[in-house]
Structure 1
Amino acid sequence: MASILVVDDEMGIRELLNEILTDEGHTVYAAESAIQARKIREQMRPDMVLLDIWMPETDGITLLKEWSKTGQLTMPVVMMSGHATIDTAVEATRIGALNFLEKPIALQKLLKTVNKALESSPKYVEPLEGKLTQTMVTGGQNAKPVPSEQPAAQPSGEYISGIAKTYFDLPLREARDLFEKAYFEHQMLIMGGSMTKISDYTGLERTHLYRKLKALGIDTSRNKGEA
């Protein structure tokens, strides 16, 4: 499972990509503008980014340049557009984008491109059979997988044991739903039930956030009147 940031000003595109990538087992963070994308990037480093070129105020190329100049372009970025020229795609690649997707995006093309991008992500860890895990040698988009006897992260044994008992023995979709429910219940607790704060923190639009919470069986009735 990878963390993927989707940056697009079109709600339909964000929701479609979220649905497809979530079904593939990934965790999706959505941003409708460069401002939201910056906030999410400051809080975390996603395994990859799907970045729309044409957005109001700050376009994708400008945001890509900004991340490159500030040293935040440490994950593979795939640009998206339905109106980009070859020159635009070439410029994006020159700045540091890994690939380019033309809208409307075909399902198989999307999944193939995402999988290819994750192979080059220095942060993403793909489990292997047995005791070995595949960790990525840091080196930006030229990172190469090397076998390691230890996982990239070293959580405590108690933490791993707790997760294993809770999630690892369940089917993927069921485990993901349980994790997401626990995650959002935790966010509601620490954010005082503020949908605005949770929306800003997670990068989910309020409409999509309410829909997700409802699907997870989380009661949001007390927040209906929140401004």
Structure 2
Amino acid sequence: MTAHILVVDDEPAIGSLIKEILEDEGFQVSIAENGQAARQLQRELRPDLILLDIWMPDIDGITLLKEWRGSGLIDHPIIIMSGHGNIETAVEATRLGAYDFIEKPLSTSKMLITINRALEMASLQRENSGLRKHTVTEPLGHSPIMTALREQVKRINQHNTSVLISGESGSGRTLFARYIHQNSQIYTGPFVQMRVAGMSSDNQFTELFGRHESNHMARLEQANGGTLFIKDIADMDDAVQARLLNSLENQSFLPNGSTELIPLKVRVIAATGHHIEQALTAGRLQEDLYYYLNIIPLHIPPLREHCEDIPELLEFYVNLFVNQENLPYRHFTVAAQNRLRNYSWPGNVRELKNLVQRLLILGNNHQIDVEEIEQTLTPSSRPTPMGNLSIYDLPLREAREQFERTYLEHQLQEVGGNVSKVASRVGLERTHLYRKLRALDIDPKQSSKNKK
């Protein structure tokens, strides 16, 4: 969908030039030459972004910005522009809710970069708003362990301090990160996730700090005003860790290739599956960054330590897949539930979720008994997606995802979790494979552990 931009400028020549440039870039553009026209067009057109000049004949841009932001009726980004700008004006504009401030004479490249970043940020915020409506409101389970963890999150959220989450793969670190954000004082801000494992140091720099010349928006900037969740923090390159710490302490960062600092107001939640003491001793996690992040530690225990929650988890995921993926409803017998309560769950809650999905897809009976559980828990007898015709009853997208997940998990098991070897075996470029694994929520390290 083409973004609609409203340009508010009292100089017709400048307005026409901006309109021509933006239309060449594929945007839809409208022009207002004064504050009154700007108000009217904003109400009628509901633009996706406003470029707002400070000096106009009937009202200045700062006053108009205050009016729009104070009304609460518009939430799209506003970029201030002025030929008389200074640092005080820029600070005042951003304090009042402007996305950014650009000076005249306008640099075409900077203007386009700022507009694209602002639109990307707005899109991300809308996406997060939608996710908040459809995600689990809180971690499941009424065991003493889970009850205590939820109470701990309440205490954590009395302050917007950094949090370091530890726990085994699949135990629910991402869920708790989202739960912390959704119940924090900045819940209306974006929640941005960055998964570090498997990324090269160059890609880590680009993802975290962006790349000015290619208009690659930094994760730090995307998360401004909200939460940045960094998964696998101990797998982050030492130089990236040092630069991240510097940015957090100075509350600003410099995008790669840029000379302009971007103010930073972000809460960081970091997670690791490594034992923290071992990660520090081995130098995987830098001490200075650890002390910055570990203001409030949160340890998520493995599923085997709160197995009394398993019946509730089973019921939840059965209903989830029935309602969201139209899979047939199946009921776990008491014997089947008891068997699963006594299983070690090396893959934790993620393994339980995948097991439920597999049983619903491949099973034929209404009941899931203990014999079927035993077969499913035995790797040699686990049915492959193509080994049972029920996969052909699925929509193409779901069937393809099931096959790809099982296929790639098998390949990772065969090579001990080595992603480079899998890329060579299956004929995929390594970067594309990493993206595929993240999309399918496959942890290479966990897949290598599952090989018996």
Same fold (TM over 0.5): yes
- Alpha-carbon shift at residue 112 of structure 1 (Å): 0.6
Distance 1:123 1:73 in 2: 16
Judging changes above 3 Å, is the alpha-carbon distance between structure 1 residues 103 and 7 closer, same or farther for their aligned structure 2 residues?
same
* Partner amino acid, structure 1, of 2:62: I
SS of structure 1 residue aligned to 2:122? coil
Which residue in the other structure is 2:165 paired with? none
Q: Retained in 1: the 8 A contact 2:51–2:81?
A: yes
* Higher-helix-fraction structure: 2
Which residue in the other structure is 1:188 paired with? none
SS of structure 1 residue aligned to 2:102? strand
Which residue in the other structure is 1:136 paired with? 127
Which digits, 9 at most, give the CA deviation of each residue in 1:150-169, with x for residues without a partner? xxxxxxxxxxxxxxxxxxxx
Return the index of the structure with the highest Cα Rg. 2
Which residue in the other structure is 2:62 paired with? 61
SS of structure 2 residue aligned to 1:121? helix
Q: How does 1:145-156 map to 2 (within 5 A)?
A: none
- Alpha-carbon shift at residue 137 of structure 1 (Å): 3.1
Which digits, 9 at most, give the CA deviation of each residue in 1:110-130, with x for residues without a partner? 111111111112499xxxxxx
* Partner amino acid, structure 2, of 1:53: I
- Alpha-carbon shift at residue 68 of structure 1 (Å): 1.2
Which residue in the other structure is 1:108 paired with? 109
Judging changes above 3 Å, is the alpha-carbon distance between structure 1 residues 141 and 49 closer, same or farther for their aligned structure 2 residues?
farther
Which digits, 9 at most, give the CA deviation of each residue in 1:85-144, with x for residues without a partner? 2111111101000101100011111111111111112499xxxxxxxxxx6334999456
RMSD: 2.5
Give the TM-score normalised by the residue count of structure 2.
Answer: 0.28
- Alpha-carbon shift at residue 73 of structure 1 (Å): 3.4
Judging changes above 3 Å, is the alpha-carbon distance between structure 1 residues 138 and 10 closer, same or farther for their aligned structure 2 residues?
farther
Which residue in the other structure is 1:38 paired with? 39
Question: How many residues get paired?
Answer: 136
Q: How does 1:87-106 map to 2 (within 5 A)?
A: 87-106=88-107
Q: Does 1:85 align with 2:86?
A: yes
Higher relative contact order (CA 8 A, sep 6+): 1
Task: Name stretches of at least 5 consecutive residues in structure 2 with no aligned partner.
Answer: 131-186, 194-452
Which digits, 9 at most, give the CA deviation of each residue in 1:2-29, with x for residues without a partner? 1001000010111011000001111001
Equivalent pairs: percent with the same residue?
A: 50
Task: Name stretches of at least 5 consecutive residues in structure 1 with no aligned partner.
Answer: 125-134, 147-227
Distance 2:106 2:71 in 1: 30
Q: Retained in 2: the 8 A contact 1:76–1:117?
A: yes
Q: How does 1:6-21 map to 2 (within 5 A)?
A: 6-21=7-22
Distance 1:48 1:114 in 2: 8
Q: Retained in 1: the 8 A contact 2:124–2:190?
A: no
SS of structure 1 residue aligned to 2:31? strand
Which residue in the other structure is 1:48 paired with? 49
- Alpha-carbon shift at residue 72 of structure 1 (Å): 2.7
Q: Retained in 2: the 8 A contact 1:61–1:92?
A: yes
Distance 1:66 1:123 in 2: 25
Distance 1:59 1:35 in 2: 11
